[in-house]
């Protein structure tokens, strides 16, 4: 493996601190590296591989599409765009969709839409409310909306037009926006993935929805990580019984094929006009087929109910096994997006997990993040706990 890693390094920018393994193939919730070592996948490509690896229903559909048409320009109509847009907007109770390739692009589009919404109303300096612990991407726009200093610093001046507040505090939102005529929207993640698996409370989301309605602001939800069934509902905000004005999606939407989407509702659906925004790769026939087939298979196989069941089982098992462990601060999440917060930075666990044959991630320095494929079984969930618990115990004893 060392020889392979050394051979792989010379021409690739060092933008990642990688775990020193190279994966070669996958099946279900299992992966194998170039040396044949097996891993249980509790990361799912960071909440991307909704249907796991080499899914028997997805692969033939994508092979068929590759043999038919992979890409064409948005100069022309792409029938799959309307089909996928209808599937998404029906499930979200929204109206229209714009397709791109990544979550960053979807969030960038959301920011542009909100700013244009304000400018169209005569606001020359539109401002969007964002949150502590938020992560929306690494472009200059989405980076400016992101809270993490490690992401933001070192690139010179960021984009103006954001006000940052604490989550789950409606009074903080009211105070931060009082008397400011430039506010155009409130942008939040229902569950802050990169920020440490912090959920927005249902009551708080309902309060924000009401405040946006009262002030003619857009409620913008970043569901890039929490959407597409990850919590047991199509979109995490549906646990609060609300409908946003704007919603970004990506990650699990294409089960590994890059697909991003921006959904809009009501007045927000009419803001962007021809020439206001665009993309070369977004909405091409292959990515649309991936999104369509992902939704079809999820419904055929009952993956929303399955995710709720297996996620509850996994979280309960983790709570039970880690309840008396000093140094475990919290186990939280919904469905199959679960975080285990420890009382000290635990990035070293990534490599140790790989050595033990378990793949997961660490976010916000101290939170072990589990976002496995939605096809994971309870037996496999038990295996995750069996592999993870001794790693945590050993780490906390050091």
The β-bridge partners of 27 are 30
Query: Phi/psi of residue 25, each to 5°?
Result: -155, 165
Q: Band of the pLDDT at 1, cuts 50, 70, 90?
A: low
Indicate if the pLDDT at residue 4 is higher than 80.
Answer: no
Q: What are the tens digits of pLDDT across the range 231-271?
A: 999 999 999 999 999 999 999 999 999 999 999 999 999 99
Indicate if the pLDDT at residue 143 is higher than 70.
Answer: yes
Q: What are the tens digits of pLDDT across the range 67-91?
A: 999 999 999 999 999 999 999 999 9
Mean pLDDT for 291-297 is 98
Cα first-last separation, the chain? 28
Give the whole-number percent of the chain exceeding pLDDT 90: 93
Instruction: Provide the pLDDT for residue 5.
Output: 61
Average pLDDT, the chain: 96
Catalytic residue among 233, 251, 315, 317: 251
> H/E/C letters for each residue in the chain?
CHHHHHHHCCCCCCCCCCCCCCEEEEEECEEEECCCCEEEECCHHHHCCCCCECCCCHHHHHHHHHCCCCCCCCCCCCHHHHHHHHHHHHHHCCCEEEEECCHHHHHHHHHHHHHHHHHHCCCCCCEEEEECCCCCCCCHHHHHHCCCHHHHCCCCCCCCCEEEECCCCHHHHHHHHCCCCCEEEEEECCEECCCCCEECCHHHHHHHHHHHHHHCCEEEEECCCCCCCCCCCCCHHHHHCCCCCEEEECHHHHCCCCCEEEEECHHHHHCCCCCCCCCCCCCCHHHHHHHHHHHHHHHHCCHHHHHHHHHHHHHHHHHHHHCCCCCEEEEEEECCEEEEEECCCCCCHHHHHHHCCEECEEECCCEEEECCCCCCCHHHHHHHHHHHHHHHHHHHCC
Mean pLDDT for 142-161 is 92
> How far is residue 4 from each of residues 21, 22, 197, 359, measured CA to CA in Å?
9, 8, 34, 20
Verify whether residue 155 is a known catalytic residue. no
Catalytic residue among 41, 98, 222, 233: 222
Which are the contacts of 22, defined by CB distance < 8 A and separation ≥ 6? 1, 4, 5, 8, 33, 34
Instruction: Provide the pLDDT for residue 17.
Output: 85
Crossing angle of the two packed helices 303-322 and 378-396, in degrees rounded to 10? 30
Q: Assess contact for 386 and 40: CB atoms under 8 A.
A: no
Crossing angle of the two packed helices 202-215 and 170-177, in degrees rounded to 10? 20
Q: What are the tens digits of pLDDT across the range 308-333?
A: 999 999 999 999 999 999 999 999 99
Give the whole-number percent of the chain exceeding pLDDT 70: 98
Q: Band of the pLDDT at 342, cuts 50, 70, 90?
A: very high
Instruction: Provide the pLDDT for residue 2.
Output: 59
Q: Band of the pLDDT at 8, cuts 50, 70, 90?
A: low
Mean pLDDT for 40-57 is 98
Q: Assess contact for 310 and 384: CB atoms under 8 A.
A: no
- To the question of pTM greater than 0.75 for the whole model, the response is yes
How much is the CA Rg of the chain, to the nearest whole Å? Answer: 21
Verify whether residue 121 is a known catalytic residue. no
Indicate if the pLDDT at residue 181 is higher than 80.
Answer: yes
Higher pLDDT, 174 or 4: 174
Query: Phi/psi of residue 70, each to 5°?
Result: -90, -50
> For 155, left (φ over 0), alpha (ψ -120 to 50), or beta?
alpha
Higher pLDDT, 206 or 17: 206
Q: Assess contact for 262 and 109: CB atoms under 8 A.
A: yes
Instruction: Provide the pLDDT for residue 6.
Output: 59
Instruction: Provide the pLDDT for residue 247.
Output: 98
Q: Quote the CA–CA distance of 59 and 62 in Å, as a whole number.
A: 5
Catalytic residue among 99, 135, 162, 235: 135
Q: Assess contact for 357 and 33: CB atoms under 8 A.
A: no
Indicate if the pLDDT at residue 3 is higher than 60.
Answer: no
Verify whether residue 222 is a known catalytic residue. yes
Instruction: Provide the pLDDT for residue 7.
Output: 59
């Amino acid at each position: 493996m060392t020889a392979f890693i050394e051979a792989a390094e010379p021409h690739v920018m060092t933008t990642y601190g990688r775990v020193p393994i190279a994966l070669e193939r996958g099946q279900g919730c299992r992966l194998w590296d170039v040396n044949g070592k097996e891993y249980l996948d509790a990361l799912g490509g960071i909440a991307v591989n909704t249907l796991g690896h080499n899914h028997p229903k997805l692969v033939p559909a994508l092979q068929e599409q590759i043999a038919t048409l992979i890409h064409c320009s948005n100069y022309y109509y792409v029938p799959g765009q309307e089909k996928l847009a209808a599937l998404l907007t029906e499930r979200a109770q929204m109206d229209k969709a714009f397709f791109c390739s990544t979550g960053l692009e979807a969030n960038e589009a959301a920011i542009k839409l909100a700013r244009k919404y304000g400018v169209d109303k005569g606001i020359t300096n539109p401002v969007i409310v964002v949150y502590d612990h938020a992560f929306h991407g690494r472009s200059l726009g989405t980076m400016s909306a992101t809270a993490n200093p490690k992401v933001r610093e070192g690139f010179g001046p960021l984009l103006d037009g954001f006000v940052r507040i604490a989550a789950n505090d409606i009074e903080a939102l009211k105070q931060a926006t009082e008397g400011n005529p430039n506010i155009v929207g409130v942008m939040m993640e229902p569950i802050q993935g990169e920020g440490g698996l912090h959920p927005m409370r249902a009551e708080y989301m309902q309060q924000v929805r009401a405040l946006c309605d009262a002030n003619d602001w857009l409620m913008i939800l970043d569901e890039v990580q929490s959407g597409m069934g990850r919590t047991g509902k199509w979109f995490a905000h549906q646990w609060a019984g609300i409908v946003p004005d704007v919603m970004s999606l990506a990650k699990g939407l294409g089960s590994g094929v890059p697909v991003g989407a921006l959904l809009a509702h009501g007045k927000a659906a009419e803001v962007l006009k021809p020439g206001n925004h665009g993309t070369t790769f977004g909405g091409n026939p292959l990515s649309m087929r991936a999104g369509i087939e992902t939704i079809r298979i999820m419904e055929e196989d009952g993956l929303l109910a399955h995710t709720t069941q297996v996620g509850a089982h996994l979280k309960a098992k983790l709570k039970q096994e880690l309840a008396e462990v000093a140094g475990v601060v919290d186990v939280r999440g919904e469905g199959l997006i679960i975080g285990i917060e420890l009382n000290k930075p635990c990035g070293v666990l990534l490599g140790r997990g790989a050595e033990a044959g378990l793949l997961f991630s660490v976010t916000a320095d101290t939170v072990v993040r589990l976002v496995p494929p939605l096809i994971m079984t309870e037996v496999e969930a038990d295996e995750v706990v069996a592999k993870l618990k001794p790693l945590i115990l050993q780490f906390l004893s050091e």
